Amino acid sequence: MIIRREIINFFKSWKDNAERKPLLLMGARQIGKTWAAETFGRECFEYTATFNFDKQPEVKTAFQTSKDPARIIHELTSYTNVPLIAGKTLLIFDEIQECEEALNSLKYFCEDAPNYHIIAAGSLLGVAVRKRKMTVPVGKVKVVRMHPISFMEFLRTSDEKTFEFVNSLTKAEHLPSIILNKLILEYKRYMICGGMPEAAKAMLENKGAVAIDEILQGILDMYELDFSKYADSKEIPRIQAIWKSLPSQLAKENRKFIFKVVRPGARSKDYEDALLWLESAGMIHRVCNITKPSMPLSAYAESNIFKVYSSDCGLLRRLAKLPASIIMDPVANYTEFKGALAENAVLQSLLPILDSNPYYWSADSRAEVEFVIQWNDEIIPIEVKAESCISGKSLTVYNEKFSPKHRFRFSMQNLQQNGNLLSSPAPMAELFEKFLA
């Protein structure tokens, strides 16, 4: 079972760009960075050479003795049977956070040997840069953040006809019932497995909930081992406490992150570094509050008021120990966490297509809109509802106060336009641009 990743199309555009720079591919562990790079290599190059600095620490010596790209390439030939030919070979530097000299070499490849195609990948690069005070060759690399498999990537593999139908839409009109029902079914399956490739593949191959949960638990266990391996000893308990508090934080009616939920008496200044560690590892996303949705949104962010979501809805479900059967049950009673999971899944759909971080808007205790995004020169409020019940006044309050050109509501209701309000099935969140007119 092969799940086609959209990032490969990006790689192809990069390959043909005469002004390309080495790619620095970042993202959480187990999201398929190496697989995507190697698949791209097989499809678009005569040769692909992967050098993994974690599995092959001896390769580091090629970068420690010289900064000259020609000399580095000459030495790398000793560690591979693949020809290293500019323009014909894709070079993959995997787990590059394990070799600072290799990271720095990207600058010299950019300046002195731009005819080589290089993709450098690092799962914990952000953590390593902060911990070891490593320098990233700013301006000499193209930094690309990779995300878990999106729902549309999942849908294209699970039900290609439904994917083609919704992807071909050009205006907001009711979907046929059979299409909507298929969308909702596949979306619920996706919320069970999430976008981690091994778990998504297990779902698509119908291996069952037990197998999916074992895969997800294995990833969670590996993440906790990373805490011990890559974090300072004094930060490990705090990182673990924040990570394990995520379901509790999101199960509250008000999902604002509260440090006392992590541990009684906890103070923000004691846990900020732990939060930054989890962010740098790509395991969480912080969504800050704004009280004034003006351009640019970043200027109005309240950095001390925020929500924290998981990088993947499947991992969040498993972290919360929520059985897969509950997701499929339309009458299951898990109201608050159902809403949290719905928000997490929509955020997961939006992040790969946004140029900047989303925020959320609140007005005292009267109203709260789950996400506010900046799209080109427009600010768009987004409301998320877990099922088909769309009661609530928050989006109306926002509309009356700020009169946005567009506003969105993602739920399990059918697609329709009503004035400036687009109601869309949540599975179609990453297609919202199609309906901006």
In this predicted structure, what is the pLDDT of residue 379? 96
Domain boundary among 91, 121, 145: 145
Domain count, the chain: 2
* 99 and 157 fall within a common domain: no
* 141 and 197 fall within a common domain: no
Is the pTM for the entire model greater than 0.95?
A: no
User: Which domain CATH number covers 117?
Assistant: 3.40.50.300
CA dist 420 → 172, 407, 417 (Å): 12, 6, 7
Strand order in the sheet with 407-411: 301-310, 284-290, 359-363, 367-375, 378-384, 407-411, 421-425, 416-418
Domain boundary among 145, 175, 205: 145
Residue 327 belongs to domain spanning: 151-435
The answer to whether the beta carbons of residues 187 and 411 sit under 8 Å apart is no
In a domain, 38, yes or no: yes
In this predicted structure, what is the pLDDT of residue 157? 97
**pLDDT < 70 regions, the chain:** 131-133, 331-335, 388-389
* 130 and 166 fall within a common domain: no
* 226 and 356 fall within a common domain: yes
CA dist 343 → 152, 312, 338 (Å): 17, 11, 9
* 168 and 95 fall within a common domain: no
* 160 and 287 fall within a common domain: yes
**What pairs with residue 422 in β-bridges?**
408, 417
Domain boundary among 145, 166, 198: 145
Per-residue HEC secondary structure of 73-134 comes to HHHHHHHCCCCCCCCCEEEEEECHHHCHHHHHHHHHHHHHCCCCEEEEEECCHHHHHHHHCC
- Reported as a single tens digit per residue, the pLDDT across 14-24 is 999 989 999 99
In this predicted structure, what is the pLDDT of residue 389? 67
**What pairs with residue 362 in β-bridges?**
368
- Reported as a single tens digit per residue, the pLDDT across 40-95 is 999 999 999 999 999 999 999 999 988 999 999 999 999 999 999 999 999 999 99
**What pairs with residue 373 in β-bridges?**
380
Contacts of residue 183, defined as CB under 8 A and 6 or more positions apart, other chains included, come to 155, 162, 166, 175, 425, 427, 428
